[in-house]
A = this chain, B = another copy of it.
Amino acid sequence: MKRTLGTCYYPEHWPAEMWEDDARRMAGAGLTWVRIGEFSWSRLEPTPGDLHWDWLDRALDVLGAAGLRIVLGTPTATPPRWMVDRHPDMLAVDADGRPRRFGSRRHYCFSHLGYRDESRRIARLMADRYGRNPHVAAWQIDNEYGCHDTTISYSDAARAGFRDWLAQRYQSVDALNRAWGNVFWSMEYASFDQIDLPNLTVTEPNPAHVMDFRRYSSDMVVAFNRAQVDEIRPRSDAPISHNYMGRITDFDHFVVGADLEIATWDSYPLGFLEDRVGASATHQRAFARQGDPDFQAFHHDLYRAVGRGRWWVMEQQPGPVNWAPYNPAPLPGMVRLWTWEAFAHGAEAVCYFRWRQAPFGQEQLHAGLLRPDSQEAPGLAEARQVAEELDDASTVQPSQAPVALIFDYQADWAWATQPHGVGLSYFGLVFDHYRALRRAGLSVDILSPDTRNFDGYALVLAPGLIHLDPDLASALSTTDAQVVYGPRTAARDQFFNIPTPLPPAISGLSFTVSRIESLRPDMPIGLSGGGSVQHYFEEIEGDAERLLITDTGGAVVLARGRQIYCGGWLDDTGLDRLTALLADRTGLDILSLPEGLRCRKTATEEFWFNHTTKTINTPHGPLGPAGVLRHAL
C-alpha cells in the first residue's frame, strides 16, 4: 500500500474564490487527502431544520476536481448555539457541579439522549447527501472524543443514565450493595434511584462506585459514536474513522474502535511534551523542539491495535501550536521525521493540521502549512519532501513485532480510582515499560486486553492489570511467550474488591503478594546490582526463581517457568536490567540506544530516527539532528 499525505481544511473559513487555488496547491505539494466539515454545523444548519448544503457541495466538487480525496467529518463536536436552546440540559457538568457553557466546543454530555438523537440526525442527513459522493473516501465521526476532559459529566442526564446502567448490570440493588461492599460505612441503598454520581462526597467515594461510573461514562462514548455509525454505514461504502487524542484514556478506545474501520489520531509532539507526557523538566528542555522520542511511537502502536491494523495520523503538528504551556517551533526536519515515524509504524496516511493558519478564533496561534497570508510556512517544505520521498522509495511493509505490550483502559481507570500514591498512573507504568523496550531497540505491538492469541511473540508484557480477566489469564499462562506481570496484577475482582486467595493467583505462579506499599519519590528501594524500585512495592511470599532482589534480599522479580512477576515499579535502570534478563530468556537481540535515538523494524527495513539536536552514530552510519535513516534488512 502506498502511504499518503493529507491536510485538514475549513472551506467555510475562507471565501469560496480561494478554494480552487488552495486545492491546486494541496495537490501540487503531493497531498492526497483533505479532511473537511467537522466543525461546520452552524453553516450546515444555521437554524433548526434549515439545511444549507450548497457550499459543501461546491467545496467537495472543487477539492475533488483537484484530485483530492475527502475525509468528511460529522460536526457533532460543535453543536450550534440554537441546539443549547433546544436542549438546555445537554451541557456537560463538571465535578464541581457547574454546567459548562456554550462558547468553545465539546459542550455536550454524552449521556444526553436528546443530543444523541440530534447527532444521529445530522449524521444521517450528511450520509444521505454525501454517502455515495465519489470524492468522499472516508468519514470521521465527531472530533477528539474526551478532549478537554469531556468524557465524564456529572449532569442530571448522566445520573439518570447511570442508574439505568446499574439496574441493567446488577438487576437488584441488593446485588449492587454486595458487589460494592456498601455495608462499609453504611453506604447501602434501598433502590437504584438513591444512587448519586460519585462527586462532591465528603471524603473519597467507594472505589467500586467510581469504577462503575468510569465504565458507564466510557459506554456512553461508545453509544454516542455507534449512533452515528449506524446512520452512515448503510448509506456509504467509505470507511468510518474517529480521530483520537494523545494520552486520553477516559473511554475504552478498543470498544469505540470496534465500530469503526479506521483509527486515526492527532499527533502534537511539542504540545504533548509540555502538556501531558509527564517527563522531568530536564527531559522537557532537551526535547522541547522535537517532542518526546517515545510518546508518538507509543500512540502509533496503540492506535494500530485500536484500528485493527488500519490507522492514520489525522492531525500532524506542522509548526508551533497555541495550546500548550509553552509553544516553541519544531527543530527543522522534525515535521518530516514525525511523518516518517508514523509510516514506519504502519500509518496509511498522515494529514497535517491545518492547511492555512486561521486569523480568527481560538487557534490563531496554531501554525498551518500556510501562514495566514497564504505564504508557505516552514512545515510545507518538509511535507513536500516526504511526498517526494514517498514517490521515490518502496513502500513500508509492516510486520508483527517480537514483543507485545498489553494496554487496558479499564486498568487505567482502576489505578486512577485508587492510585495509592500521589501521581501513580497505569499509563505511566506502561509507558515506562514501553520506553525501556525502545531503549533496547525493540519494536513493539500494543495489544488489547481482549487478545487471546499471542502466537509469534517472544515476549508479552502485561504490567499493572489490576483486574485480570480469567480468559486473558488463561491465555497468558499457556502461551509460549515469556510473560511479565505485576505490579498489582489481578489485585481486584471485577467489582473492585480484593480477591481471596490473594493476588496474583495466576495458574502456575506459586507466590502471593502479602503486603503492598506506596513510596515517597525520595525513598526508592535499591536493587542488588543496580537500579531500584520506586513508587510502588509489593512484598511477596512464596517460592520462585528470583530474577531481581532488593539490596536487603527481598524478592522483586520472580519467575516460574515462562511466567514472570514484577512486584514493584522499576526505575529506568531496573527496567533495563529486566529487559536484558528477558532478552536472555527469549533470545531477542537488544541494543542500548542513546537518549533520543530510536529504531523501528518493518518486514524489510530498519528505520532510525534521531530525535536529538546532535549527530549520533547508528550501526549504519552517522545520523544528523532530526534525521531519518532507512536501512534495508
Interface residues of A (CB under 8 A from B): 12-13, 39-43, 46-47, 75, 78-82, 85, 92, 96-107, 147-148, 150, 180-190, 194, 196, 198-209, 274, 281, 284-285, 288, 319-320, 322, 325-329, 357-365, 367, 371-373, 375, 377-378, 418, 420-422, 495-502, 514-520, 522-523, 539
Please report the C-alpha to C-alpha distance between residue A239 and residue B78 in the assembled complex, in whole angstroms.
Answer: 54
Q: Say whether A358 contacts B184, CB under 8 Å.
A: yes
Interface pairs A-B: 10 shortest CB-CB = A181-B360, A184-B361, A42-B186, A359-B498, A78-B186, A103-B201, A104-B201, A42-B188, A148-B203, A103-B205
Known: A103-B198, A328-B519, A520-B288. A187 touches B81 (CB 8 A): yes
**How many copies of this chain are found per oligomer?**
3
Residue of B nearest to A523 (CB): B288
Q: Decide if B185 touches A518 in the complex (CB within 8 Å).
A: no
Chain B nearest Cβ from A586, distance in angstroms: 34
Q: A288-B520, A515-B320, A520-B328 are in contact. Are A206 and B361 (CB under 8 A)?
A: yes
Contact residues of A: prevailing secondary structure: loop
Question: Are B206 and A285 in touch, CB under 8 angstroms?
Answer: no
Shortest Cβ distance from A566 into chain B, in angstroms?
A: 18
Taking a contact as CB atoms under 8 Å apart, the answer to whether A184 and B362 are in contact is yes
Residue of B nearest to A500 (CB): B373
Complex CA gap A281/B520 in Å reads: 10
The answer to whether A325 and B421 have CB atoms under 8 Å apart is yes
Question: By the criterion CB–CB under 8 Å, are A186 and B519 in contact?
Answer: no
Chain B residues whose CB sits within 8 angstroms of the CB of A373 once the complex forms? 500-502
Which of B194, B284, B364 interacts with A498 by CB under 8 Å?
B364
Q: List 27 A-B contacts (CB under 8 A).
A: A42-B187, A46-B190, A75-B186, A98-B200, A100-B201, A101-B199, A102-B196, A103-B187, A103-B198, A103-B209, A104-B187, A104-B206, A105-B185, A106-B203, A148-B202, A150-B202, A181-B358, A181-B360, A185-B362, A206-B362, A274-B520, A320-B516, A326-B422, A326-B520, A364-B497, A371-B515, A373-B500
Q: How far is the CA of A246 from the CA of B322 in the complex (A)?
A: 31
Known A-B contacts A361-B185, A500-B359; A204 and B104 likewise in contact (beta carbons under 8 Å): yes
Closest-CB distance, A19 to chain B (whole angstroms): 15
**Can you add 9 more A-B contacts, CB < 8 Å, to A326-B519, A367-B515, A373-B501?**
A80-B188, A81-B194, A102-B201, A103-B206, A106-B202, A207-B361, A207-B362, A285-B522, A359-B498
A315–chain B nearest beta-carbon distance, Å: 15
Select the residue from A102, A200, A362, A418 with max chain B CB neighbours within 10 A: A362
Residues of B within 8 A of A322 (CB): 420
Query: B residues within 8 A CB of A319?
Result: 515
With A204-B362, A359-B498, A373-B500 as contacts: A518 and B328 at CB distance below 8 Å: yes
Which residues does chain B contribute within 8 Å of A519, judged by CB atoms? 326, 328
Query: How far is the CB of A158 from the nearest CB of chain B, in Å?
Result: 14
Contact, CB under 8 Å: A328 / B523: yes
Task: Please indicate the chain B residues that have their CB under 8 angstroms from the CB of A39 in the complex.
Answer: 184-186
**A39-B186, A190-B81, A500-B372 as given contacts; A196 in contact with B326, CB under 8 Å:** no
- Given A104-B205, A183-B43, decide whether A515 and B196 contact each other with a Cβ distance below 8 A: no
Contact of A96 among B98, B194, B327 (CB under 8 A): B98
In the assembly, what is the distance between CA of A564 and CA of B280, in Å? 39
- CB closest chain-B residue, reference A282: B522
- Evaluate contact between A203 and B515: CB separation under 8 angstroms: no
A358 proximity list for chain B (CB < 8 A): 181, 184
